Each structure stands twice: as structure tokens, then as C-alpha cells.
């Protein structure tokens, strides 16, 4: 199997002048992308072998150039979110021993103040000057077992969990995608999601490696994607987009916008989604307004890659996330004794796969990714298999929530709230939301502080997407006969009372909450 960079260079040699990447007003041909990646690789290598190059950046062409440079020269890209608090980013980067950080202009100064002095911090505006002044060095191209990506996933203890992927795991995954997708050189793929998340980076790289044109967009970041759905539709029309890579909330907003404006797009022939199950209503709208598109759904995890696939030519039960991807072996096991369960029995979803990460760099806890005694791995999802091998998910270990594609652990937030002396009891849980998957809710009782104070605690310690979206200030929290919080009763009561309002929550509502640094109360979105 050839390395990822070998595949890229073959494409670049065949079509050097073709547009490989468009991000906003930035455009890169295959030749320009190659030239810039080589220059970065040579400058990185002059600082030493096997560096860890951190990227905390929103979407830009430089993001992909840095990734390609690391793939080419054997350095490791460390990807983090520039919207995280500076203290959280600093803890992450120190934990993985970062050698160089490239970030947004807005984040450079705060990070310089908290990072060790020996870690150079470059902003996008200073990167080119640094490259001009830096020595360059020849380098030996990386092999497929070279670690190339360190990413972070949320953890239940408050400490981020860093996982590592080598080139082989992604190269194998790209090859498997070839069997399921029909991406060709003529395709134009739009990924409105952010490249700092696995789906965005994977989709853009895959398109470029297959000789297609990849379009990234800043519209579907944390600044209000619903407000920009019409803009995305304009890009689809103007650029004659043929493929879309989405998470279900994006698909929901685009489908609703297409319905609202009565727009159809016959050029789009393929839509892929991942992170959570696509709602039936969203799928129906997509079929109406993208009449020629195959809709393909993946289930997976950043640490494990794609696990199952559901596609139109292989019918699956409505609630199922599909069958195992090529090369993936699924089993359902008893969480207590690791015994294999029969079809129809609910247990822990366990996976054997060539796409799995090489492990965590930090100590992980029992609620996340872990290796089981038989060598299979799990991310803590529960589900069951039918006789045909279709997987249906039924819940998550340790009450893990997935909100808009982001993992959120209750214990992480509750540990922060416990530091507030004005709160006697706090409970974090999810309520169903057809767009988000879960609405992250906080219930407190009694609570002598205002919502602003609790909000500040969370926003100072966590990225915005992992903060509670709704605060229920209660007189008392129900408990079982043994004194434990009656989570099921609490969830049922509040869900019944406020379910309709929660279901109508939009990114615009969340945007307001983030800007104001406060939680939403039910009255903020009632009606």
C-alpha cells in the first residue's frame, strides 16, 4: 500500500494546474499545494526529526498545507480547537510535548502568556515571515506506520484525552472508502464542517487524494450555521458541487433552507453523514431537494474511524446505523464479564478494525475508548445486532451525550460545578433533540448563585460546545430510596415539561448563550 503523500503526489503530478482546494477566498492548485507543503516540511525538518506541530486554527488553506507537510516529512500534527480556553489548550499542548504551535491571530497572544517560553507560537499573519527566515532541511519521506495525527476528545475527568493515529490507519480507511464511495477526479466536494474535527479533515483530504476539488467553508462553525444555510446553498449552486460531507445538524439546516426557498440541486449525486443517526424527516427532505443524491450514513468515532455504513443499495432497518465497514468485525459483549451476546441482546459495542488509533497518550478512564481483554476496543456505546449484522445503538456508557457531533460527559461538567459553594447538588444529563442528538442540561438544587456565575465556571474551563445549554434551577432533585439521584425520573419529568421547546433549539439560540456567557433557561426559548 502506498503512503498518503504518495497518493497525493501522483494526483498533483497528473493535474498540477487543477484547483485542489477552496476555502473562502483562498484557492490552491495541486501544484501550489505541493509547493507550500514541501516548503513547510523543509522548515519543520530543520528544527529536528519527529516534531509535534500543533494547529489551533479555523478553516484555511494553510491548515491542509501543514497536514500535508507533516504527512510528507514524518512530523505529527496536533489538532486542537482555537475556541478552547487558553488554559485548556496549554494543558493539552504541554501534555503531548508540542514543539511548535500555529494558531489564529486572536489566539496567539493569550497562548504565548500560558505556554512554556521554549514553544514558538506562530499566527497566520507571522507564518510566512517565519518561513522566509527559517533554515530549510532535506527530509526522508515518512512511512505508513509514522504517527501523523494527534487529536483530542473530551473526557469524563475534565482532562482531555489525546489519541494518536498513524498514516496506515487513515490510508487503509481511504482505501475502504473507495469501495463505498464513488469520488472521482471530476467531483467537487463541499464540507461545511470544520477541519479541526475529524470529519472535515478526513473529507477534504480524501477528496484531494482522489484528484477532486475540495471546498471548505467557515460558515458552519460555532458562529451560527443555521443563519448561513442559504449561503451554503449558494455555494452548492455556484460551484456545481457534486458531493457533500455533513453531520446531521448541518444536513437538517440545509434541507430546511432548501425547502423554505424551494431550491433543488440536481448536480449533487452523493451525501455522506456521520456522528449521529440522520433523522427520517431530514433524510426525506434531502431526497426531495437533492433528487439524484445517494445518501450514505456512517457510524464511527474519532479514535476508531468508520465502524458501520448504511447506504441505499443495501436496505437496513430504519433505526439501524448499518453493517460493519470493510475490514471491521463487530461484536456485542456483556459489560460485566466480556461474554459475547447473541443477536437481539443489548450490550457493549466492541470493534476490531485496521482503522483504530494506536491509543491514548494520556491515561484514559472507563467511560471512553478502551481495549478489552480479548483485544477488541469500545468507545462505550451500547447496542444490538440483528441476524443480518445490522447494528442498532441503544445508549451510552456513563451517560455520555453527543450534542451536534461533540461528545459531552456529565462528570466533566459536574466536577466543575462542584467547585461552586453556592450549589448544593448538580446533575448534568441529556434530553433528546432531533437536530442536536442531545440537549445538554444542568439541574441544580438549591442554588444561591445566578446562572451567570455557573456559566462563567463552565466557559472558563471548557470549550463552548461542551458547556450546558439549558439550566433548570429546581427546589429539589429527586432521589431514589438509597439516596442516589433519580436520573430517569428527572429526565422524564423535565423532558415532558419542556420537550417541545428543547426540540426547537437552534444554533442561533446557542450562539446567543455563548456570546452572553450564560446558560439558557427554559423561558428563553419557550413558545
303 part of a folded domain: no
CB–CB of 334/347 below 8 Å?
A: yes
111 part of a folded domain: yes
* Burial 396-425, CB ≥16 within 10 A → b, else e: bbebbbbbbbbbbbbbbbbbbbeebeebeb
Local structure of 275: helix, strand or coil: coil
Question: Are 377 and 405 contained in the same domain?
Answer: no
Question: Are 11 and 157 contained in the same domain?
Answer: yes
287 part of a folded domain: no
Question: Are 192 and 122 contained in the same domain?
Answer: yes
Q: Total domain count for the chain? A: 3
Residue 191, C-beta contacts closer than 8 angstroms, at least 6 positions apart: 199, 200, 203, 204, 207, 214, 215, 216, 217, 244, 245, 246
Cα–Cα distance, 98 to 361 (Å, whole number) = 13
CATH number at residue 477: 3.30.300.30
pLDDT at 489: 81
Question: Are 195 and 50 contained in the same domain?
Answer: yes
Last residue of a domain, one of 342, 368, 396: 396
Per-residue pLDDT of the chain (527 residues; tens, 9 = 90+): 678 999 999 999 999 999 999 998 999 999 999 999 999 999 999 999 999 999 998 889 999 999 999 999 999 999 988 877 777 778 778 778 899 999 988 888 888 888 878 889 999 889 999 999 999 999 988 887 888 899 876 443 345 578 888 898 899 999 989 988 889 999 999 998 788 888 889 999 999 999 999 999 866 544 445 668 888 999 999 999 999 999 887 888 899 899 999 999 999 999 999 877 887 888 999 999 999 999 999 998 878 889 999 999 888 998 899 999 999 999 999 988 889 999 999 889 999 999 887 766 755 444 467 888 888 999 888 889 999 999 998 777 767 788 877 778 787 788 788 777 788 778 888 888 877 788 888 888 877 776 777 878 888 888 777 888 888 888 888 866 445 677 778 888 887 777 666 666 654 444 444 333 344 444 443 33
CA atoms within 13 A on the CB side of 170: 29
Last residue of a domain, one of 344, 361, 396: 396
Q: What is the DSSP string of 9-49?
A: HHHHHH-TTSEEEEETTEEEEHHHHHHHHHHHHHHHHHT-S
Question: Are 386 and 423 contained in the same domain?
Answer: no
Question: Are 368 and 451 contained in the same domain?
Answer: no
Cα–Cα distance, 272 to 309 (Å, whole number) = 10
Question: Are 392 and 415 contained in the same domain?
Answer: no
pLDDT at 453: 76
Residue 163, C-beta contacts closer than 8 angstroms, at least 6 positions apart: 150, 151, 152, 153, 302, 303, 357, 359, 360, 361, 369
Residue 514, C-beta contacts closer than 8 angstroms, at least 6 positions apart: 222, 459, 464, 467
Cα–Cα distance, 166 to 75 (Å, whole number) = 11
249 part of a folded domain: no
Residue 461: all three cell numbers together: 474551563
**169: closest CA among 241, 71, 75, 240?**
71
Last residue of a domain, one of 380, 396, 412: 396
Cα–Cα distance, 443 to 432 (Å, whole number) = 16
Question: Are 84 and 11 contained in the same domain?
Answer: yes
**302: closest CA among 171, 440, 160, 165?**
165
431 part of a folded domain: yes
Question: Are 471 and 416 contained in the same domain?
Answer: yes
Question: Are 424 and 450 contained in the same domain?
Answer: yes
365: domain range?
326-396
pLDDT at 365: 44
Question: Are 385 and 415 contained in the same domain?
Answer: no
109 part of a folded domain: yes
CATH number at residue 192: 3.40.50.12780
95 part of a folded domain: yes
CA angle 146, 351, 153 (to 5 degrees): 60
When computed from its CA atoms, the radius of gyration of the chain, rounded to whole angstroms, is: 23
Q: Which value, to the nearest 10 degrees, does the dihedral of the CA atoms of residues 26, 28, 32, 35 take?
A: 70
Tell me, letter by letter, the H, E, C secondary structure of 134-188.
CCCCCCCCCCCCCEEEEEEECCCCCCCEEEEEEHHHHHHHHHHHHHHCCCCCCCE
Cα–Cα distance, 137 to 72 (Å, whole number) = 13
Question: Are 405 and 377 contained in the same domain?
Answer: no
Amino acid at each position: 500500500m502506498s503512503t498518503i503523500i504518495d497518493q497525493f503526489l501522483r494526483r498533483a503530478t497528473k493535474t498540477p494546474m487543477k484547483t485542489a482546494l477552496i476555502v473562502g477566498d483562498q484557492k490552491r492548485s495541486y501544484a501550489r499545494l505541493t509547493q507550500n507543503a514541501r516548503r513547510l516540511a523543509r522548515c519543520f525538518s530543520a528544527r529536528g526529526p519527529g516534531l509535534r506541530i500543533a494547529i489551533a486554527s479555523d478553516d484555511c488553506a494553510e491548515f491542509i498545507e501543514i497536514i500535508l507537510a507533516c504527512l510528507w516529512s514524518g512530523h505529527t500534527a496536533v489538532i486542537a480547537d482555537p475556541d478552547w480556553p487558553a488554559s485548556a489548550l496549554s494543558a493539552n499542548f504541554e501534555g503531548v510535548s508540542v514543539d511548535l504551535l500555529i494558531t489564529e491571530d486572536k489566539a496567539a497572544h493569550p497562548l504565548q502568556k500560558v505556554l512554556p517560553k521554549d514553544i514558538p507560537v506562530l499566527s497566520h499573519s507571522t507564518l510566512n515571515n517565519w518561513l522566509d527566515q527559517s533554515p530549510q532541511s532535506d527530509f526522508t519521506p515518512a512511512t505508513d506506520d509514522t504517527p501523523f495525527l494527534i487529536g483530542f476528545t473530551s473526557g469524563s475527568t475534565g482532562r482531555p484525552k489525546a489519541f494518536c493515529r498513524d498514516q496506515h490507519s487513515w490510508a487503509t480507511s481511504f482505501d475502504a472508502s473507495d469501495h463505498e464511495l464513488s469520488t472521482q477526479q471530476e467531483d467537487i466536494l463541499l464540507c461545511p464542517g470544520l477541519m479541526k474535527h475529524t470529519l472535515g479533515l478526513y473529507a477534504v483530504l480524501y477528496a484531494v487524494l482522489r484528484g477532486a476539488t475540495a471546498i471548505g467553508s467557515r460558515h458552519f462553525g460555532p458562529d451560527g450555521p443555521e443563519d448561513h444555510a442559504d449561503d451554503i446553498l449558494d455555494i452548492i449552486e455556484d460551484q456545481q458541487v457534486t458531493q457533500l460531507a455533513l453531520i446531521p445538524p448541518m444536513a437538517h439546516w440545509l434541507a430546511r433552507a432548501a425547502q423554505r426557498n424551494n431550491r433543488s440541486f440536481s448536480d449533487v449525486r452523493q451525501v455522506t453523514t456521520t456522528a449521529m443517526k440522520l433523522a427520517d424527516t431530514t433524510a426525506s427532505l434531502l431526497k426531495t431537494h437533492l433528487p439524484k443524491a445517494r445518501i450514505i450514513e456512517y457510524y464511527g468515532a474519532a479514535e476508531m474511524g468508520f465502524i458501520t455504513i448504511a447506504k441505499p443499495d443495501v436496505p437496513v432497518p430504519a433505526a439501524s446505523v448499518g453493517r460493519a465497514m470493510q475490514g471491521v468485525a463487530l461484536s456485542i459483549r456483556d459489560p460485566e464479564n466480556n461474554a459475547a451476546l447473541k443477536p437481539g441482546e443489548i450490550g457493549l459495542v466492541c470493534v476490531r478494525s485496521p482503522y483504530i488509533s494506536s491509543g491514548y497518550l494520556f491515561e484514559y478512564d472507563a467511560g471512553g475508548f478502551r481495549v478489552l481483554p480479548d483485544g477488541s476496543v469500545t468507545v462505550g456505546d451500547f447496542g444490538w445486532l440483528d441476524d443480518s449484522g445490522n447494528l442498532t445503538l441503544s445508549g451510552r456508557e456513563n451517560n455520555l451525550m453527543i450534542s451536534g457531533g461533540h461528545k459531552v460527559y456529565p462528570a466533566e461538567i459536574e466536577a466543575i460545578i462542584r467547585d461552586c459553594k453556592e450549589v448544593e447538588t448538580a446533575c448534568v444529563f441529556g434530553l433528546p433533540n432531533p437536530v442536536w442528538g442531545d440537549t445538554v442540561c444542568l439541574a441544580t438544587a438549591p442554588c444561591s448563585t445566578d446562572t451567570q456565575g455557573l456559566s462563567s465556571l463552565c466557559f472558563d474551563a471548557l470549550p463552548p460546545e461542551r458547556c450546558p445549554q439549558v439550566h433548570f434551577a429546581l427546589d429539589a432533585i429527586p432521589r431514589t430510596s438509597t439516596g442516589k439521584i433519580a436520573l430517569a425520573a428527572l429526565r422524564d419529568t423535565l423532558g415532558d415539561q419542556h420537550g417541545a421547546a428543547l426540540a426547537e433549539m437552534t444554533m442561533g439560540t446557542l450562539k446567543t448563550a455563548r456570546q452572553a456567557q450564560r446558560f439558557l433557561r427554559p423561558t428563553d426559548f419557550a413558545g
